[in-house]
Amino acid sequence: MNSGMDEAKALVQPEPDGELLTRVQRGDERAMAVFFDRYSKIVYSVALRVLRDSASAEDVMQEIFMQIWRSPNSFAASKGALGGWLAVMARNRSVDMLRRRRPSELMEELTLATACNLGDDAERSLLVQRAQAAVKLLPMEQRKTLEMAFFDGLTHAEITEMTGDSVGTVKNRMRSALVTLRKGVQA
């Protein structure tokens, strides 16, 4: 028999993503409502940042969540990283839309390595704070290059054209910026 404490804890503990996915596999529509409540803000924020248009961002978000509904199995491998994966998908799909190209299927393999659970509000807000602080510490050129590539969806060739920097420099800055961010957040 559980102790009273366990019972109380069980009542407030959110259902893990994996269990929600199992429910989606069984066709449980209510599990989708939970996913939406858990991750819509992240997905929408990223999509809106790239697309700068709320209707388009909503479309991207809709498609991403529908993909969970249609093929939950393809998300099963995300383990604890579903939220992170959805954030990356939001960025990639938004850039696809920006560039008016079909969503790439090459990125569907889940490889994401992250230990953070973005479904947990406290964990996420701590991570957001650290990430924002780490971005502020980046050298301005790195920060600008990363922003152009990640949020504005510009290719390195386009960035090269706009900034006059060499391709090597652009690649290098993007890479250094992301590595610095990871280390900054981990520290």
Partner 1 sequence: MNEGNHVTADNLYLFALQLLPEAEMRNAATHLKECAVCRSQLGEIQGEMVIYALTAEARTPPSQARERLLRQVAEEKKEIPPEPVEEKREPVLYPRNSKMYLIDTPEEREPRRVAVLMAWLGWGVVACLAVVTGMQVDQRQMVQQDMAVATAQLSQSEQQNERAQEVLETLHDPSAMQVALRLPLSASAPPKVDPEAHVIYLARTGGLLFLADHLDPLQSGKTYELWLLPAQAGQPALSVGLFKPDANGNASVVMPQLPRGVAAKGFGVTIEKDGGAGSPTPPIILAGMQP
Binding residues for partner 1 restricted to 132-171, rule: CB under 8 A? 132, 134-135, 146, 149-151, 155-156, 171
Residue 5: count of CB within 10 angstroms of its CB: 8
Length in residues, the chain:
187
Subset of 66-105 contacting partner 1 (CB under 8 A): 66, 69-70, 81, 84-85, 87-88, 90-92, 95-96, 104
Does position 119 interact with partner 1 (CB under 8 A)? The reply is no
Does position 52 interact with partner 1 (CB under 8 A)? The reply is no
Among 16, 53, 79, 112, binds partner 1 (CB under 8 A): 112
Does position 114 interact with partner 1 (CB under 8 A)? The reply is yes
Q: How far is the CB of 105 from partner 1 (least distance, A)?
A: 9
Closer Cβ to partner 1, 11 or 164, answer by number:
11
Longest dimension (CA), the chain: 69
Among 36, 76, 120, 123, binds partner 1 (CB under 8 A): 36
